[in-house]
Amino acid sequence: MKTTRYFEEQVLRKRPYIRREWCEMALSNPIRREVQSDDRIRHWVFINELGKYLRVVTLEDGETVLNAFPDRDFKEVEK
């Protein structure tokens, strides 16, 4: 998994409970994927261990992880 320096030095330091495999799950099999106005991409996945959805934000390439955090406000849309 490719990551930014910000992710390695800031995100993992502030949120040491976040596992890399969770981020990989979000990228490979997201519940939802959404492009932001700045072309970065949001990916969501439900993490049983957290009991919450994890939002993983990548750069425009869709594979370099910039940020990851539990998303308190995410609601899965009914299909």
pTM: 0.92
Beta bridge partners of 6: none
> Digits of tens for pLDDT over the chain (79 positions)?
999 999 999 999 999 999 999 999 999 999 999 999 999 999 999 999 999 999 999 999 999 999 999 999 898 775 5
- pLDDT at position 53: 97
CA–CA gap between residue 19 and residue 16 (Å, rounded): 8
Beta bridge partners of 44: 32, 55
- pLDDT at position 18: 98
- Taking 3-state DSSP, the helix, strand and coil percentages for the chain, each rounded to the nearest 5, stand at 25, 35, 40
